[in-house]
Structure 1
Amino acid sequence: MNQVIYDTFFASGPVWILLLAPFFLALGYAVTALTRSEPKQPIEKQRLEQEIEPLRDFDFRKVAPIKYQPYKTQGHVTMGIQKRTRSEWIRMDRGYLNRINERLPLIRDKPEFTIGAGEKVNPAIEELYEEIMIKYLPARFPTMFKARGKTVKNLATGSTYPLTTVGLTHAQMLAYMGENVEEDFYFMCPDQDGLYRLQGYIACFPGGFLSPARVGESVKEIHKPVPGYERKLGLSVDRYFGRMIPGDFIGRMNWSLQVDGADLFRTDGNNYYPGTEQVVEEYKEDPSLDECFLRVEHQTLTKLPRTSAVIFTVRSYMTPLHQVKAEGDGKALAAAIESMPEGLGYYKMRQYWGKKVLPWLMEDI
């Protein structure tokens, strides 16, 4: 599953689509190729049996963020879907404490946006809590997460959480996950007809507006406004979800520009939606370069063995454009932005901030 070309990147649609559509739309093209070439296989129920490689001498304070430059390797029209390993599911680096401190008040003060539980997703929430909080974190990061009796202590923050789901509400399980890892999780659960529907989430760093009203919608319903989705993909994504084997991990990176600050919790997104009542503020045309950032999402998809829920994991990174330029990548980023198809550039608001940002990125240091 290497790079996959796609040329339909929603020129219109509701703001919420920003969260899942880029990954699912790209995945659909991979699905089409895979289903043509692979023989049908029975769906096997199995545990996530990949070994978790322990990082025994790990010090998150000395770890730089991964080197992400998707604008160099995949642009916006090649999606770069690749296989991942279980050990790569959750990442830690020297920015961990700052971002956890950014997440805590969001979980406490904005639960209507950040926490989504419910009867249809609760079994999957419990299963993911077991996989991430009980099995994964102490095994992968033994210098950060220590099991002590019936609890696990996060040595970086000093907080503790239960080593069991007994006695916890499902909202509490989501909150504990949000308080200990930087990744957001979206739960796509199969219904009686085999359609996968968004049923829950822990989403502290959404790149767009996540409406509770979208919970319960299928992938097809979420993408209804996306031009070409039904014609090109149809039920391919749902079929692929049904065929996924627990233990497989696939991922990619998505990127955009954010020209009004570094905050990761965004309810308005960084995109333009024609035909809506969206108001574009004047600062988009003359942004402060100090407030301009490259926003990159590391996205992973996997399937849980017990509930068959598909988990969409998103880890977000922010880099000042000043840093991108100082590292010699300004012209490469500008070239990637300028190479966007017209519809995509319009969607990404290039027509607003591009007049100022692109010439500046092209300047010699």
Structure 2
Amino acid sequence: MGTYTFGPVAMDDSFIYTFFPLLAVIAVILYLKSKENAKVTTERAATVPYSLWDPNRKKTDNKTISPTSLPQDPVITPLRDANILSTSPYPFRPYKPVSRMTMGIEKCDPNDLFLLDSSYPARIALRKDLTIRYPNTLGASLQSTGAVKELYTFIFHHMSSRFPELFAINPTDSIFNNYVSGETYPLHPPGNSLVALKAIASTVEEDVLVLMQNPGEDVYRLQAFAGCFPNGFAWSEKMGMALSEIHGPVPLFKEKLEFSVDRFFGKLEMGRWVKRFNWTVAIHDQLCSLVANHIYQGVEFPEKLESVKLDGCYLRVERQVLLRLPVSKAIVFFIKTYMTPLNVVKAEGQGEALATAIEGMPDKLAIYKGRNIWGEAVVSALRS
């Protein structure tokens, strides 16, 4: 057996034959462990909720503040309730005895951005069908490309974080799974904005509007949309319009709300989520209503209704949630539409309250909403 000397250390053949194979085994183990750690890091990164916290946000005095003093990302609490799709839609009843033209802004809990209920499966199937049959349910300008990608990423991370029993992200394949519809979508946003918007429209019940400022302008304009459930118009007709132009046909908007809305949009901060409601009466059950729900100036009035069946008329409520995206600075509207037959509203004991609210509409707004056509008949039926 040979002996080898390395400075003051002497080693024989048995040590050499044992040490170097052991060193090789340790090296292999460390290599495999490093690959495993890299995989875990990648998986964790894929499942981290998309951030709506902007570390570069500034105060109104333009002095940068420390990130430690900024509000952190909204805490999304997983709702592990497989029966959520068996629950009835929440009975929002936002009408008041006298309607006033106000923004009606309320704080919105980030956990309540999307309110899933029993309507979800049928609504998603309908929205997917509408985007195929009517291409003008989707629209995007070149300016909105980055904002649409940002929105796409945010929605898929939010849905999987909030409703892990119904939606999930597969980090290995970078796939978003919708277990309700059976659809899957790539986690990385597609380059085509219309493809991205179609995926969004087939994932959430809400119509989604993206508003952005043009360079050198203070106003916000509609730059992208997934609008399957419009109320008396097509969103494609509003593309590129400022808020004041979009609401141009709405009586009293210019006098009562235009300045307040523009100022509010300009000051809406990242991390501040707000909601508001609209309501009207519809004498049909169509969620996608391009005509008939509004009476525009210069249009001949349809014939006044003598009577109605309450099960064929609906309280149509829009729940709107607004937030700002941190990278593009775009403002996003999420609009969920609730349709409740008026016989159900009456059975709740709300007949008189709704009748009073219908009568309490400002005259110009009442004409716009068609009260001259259905008002007396609906009020009479609610009070009978």
Question: Same fold, TM exceeding 0.5?
Answer: yes
Picking from 265, 270, 275, the partner of 2:293 is 270
Q: Secondary structure at the match of 1:255?
A: strand
The 5 Å alignment of 1:354-365 reads: 354-363=375-384
Picking from 332, 338, 342, the partner of 1:311 is 332
Higher relative contact order (CA 8 A, sep 6+): 1
Any conservation in 2 of the 1:48–1:246 contact (CA below 8 Å)? no
Q: Does 1:292 align with 2:313?
A: yes
Picking from 148, 154, 165, the partner of 1:143 is 165
Any conservation in 1 of the 2:206–2:337 contact (CA below 8 Å)? yes
Q: Which shows bigger deviation, 261-270 or 46-55? A: 46-55
Q: In the superposition, relative to structure 1, how do residues 235 and 325 fare at CA in structure 2: closer, same or farther (>3 Å)? A: closer
The 5 Å alignment of 1:1-365 reads: 40-42=60-62, 49-72=73-96, 75=99, 77=101, 79-112=103-136, 114-133=137-156, 135-148=157-170, 149-165=173-189, 167-193=190-216, 194-210=218-234, 212-224=236-248, 236-259=260-283, 261-275=284-298, 278-282=299-303, 284=305, 286-363=307-384
Quote how far apart the aligned CAs of 1:77 are.
Answer: 4.7
**Partner amino acid, structure 2, of 1:142:** P
Report the counterpart of residue 8 of structure 1 in structure 2. none
Structural RMSD (CA): 2.6
Q: Distance in 2 between matches of 1:215 and 1:207?
A: 16
Any conservation in 2 of the 1:74–1:80 contact (CA below 8 Å)? no
Q: Which shows bigger deviation, 262-271 or 41-50? A: 41-50
Quote how far apart the aligned CAs of 1:263 are.
Answer: 1.4
Q: In the superposition, relative to structure 1, how do residues 213 and 258 fare at CA in structure 2: closer, same or farther (>3 Å)? A: closer
Q: Distance in 2 between matches of 1:78 and 1:238?
A: 13
Any conservation in 2 of the 1:294–1:318 contact (CA below 8 Å)? yes
Q: Secondary structure at the match of 2:160?
A: helix
Q: In the superposition, relative to structure 1, how do residues 311 and 284 fare at CA in structure 2: closer, same or farther (>3 Å)? A: farther
Q: Distance in 1 between matches of 2:350 and 2:251?
A: 33
Quote how far apart the aligned CAs of 1:198 are.
Answer: 0.9
Structure 1 unmatched runs, 5+: 1-38
Q: Which shows bigger deviation, 145-154 or 304-313? A: 145-154
Deviation track 1:271-322 (CA, whole Å, cap 9, x = no partner) reads: 22222xx344447555444321110000111111000101111000000111
**Partner amino acid, structure 2, of 1:93:** D
Q: Secondary structure at the match of 2:210?
A: strand
Q: Distance in 2 between matches of 1:197 and 1:132?
A: 22
Quote how far apart the aligned CAs of 1:326 are.
Answer: 1.5
Q: Distance in 2 between matches of 1:308 and 1:262?
A: 36
Quote how far apart the aligned CAs of 1:40 are.
Answer: 4.0
Any conservation in 2 of the 1:146–1:152 contact (CA below 8 Å)? yes
Deviation track 1:62-98 (CA, whole Å, cap 9, x = no partner) reads: 3221231112488455553201122111110011111
Q: Secondary structure at the match of 2:225?
A: strand
Any conservation in 2 of the 1:47–1:246 contact (CA below 8 Å)? no
Identity across the alignment (%):
37
Q: Distance in 2 between matches of 1:181 and 1:271?
A: 26
Quote how far apart the aligned CAs of 1:48 are.
Answer: 7.7
Q: Distance in 2 between matches of 1:187 and 1:98?
A: 25
Q: Secondary structure at the match of 2:349?
A: coil
TM-score scaled by length of structure 2: 0.76
**Partner amino acid, structure 2, of 1:152:** F
Q: Secondary structure at the match of 1:125?
A: helix
**Partner amino acid, structure 2, of 1:127:** E
Q: Distance in 1 between matches of 2:130 and 2:121?
A: 15
Q: How many residues align?
A: 319
Structure 2 unmatched runs, 5+: 1-58
Q: In the superposition, relative to structure 1, how do residues 288 and 226 fare at CA in structure 2: closer, same or farther (>3 Å)? A: closer
Any conservation in 1 of the 2:206–2:334 contact (CA below 8 Å)? yes
Q: Which has the larger radius of gyration?
A: 2
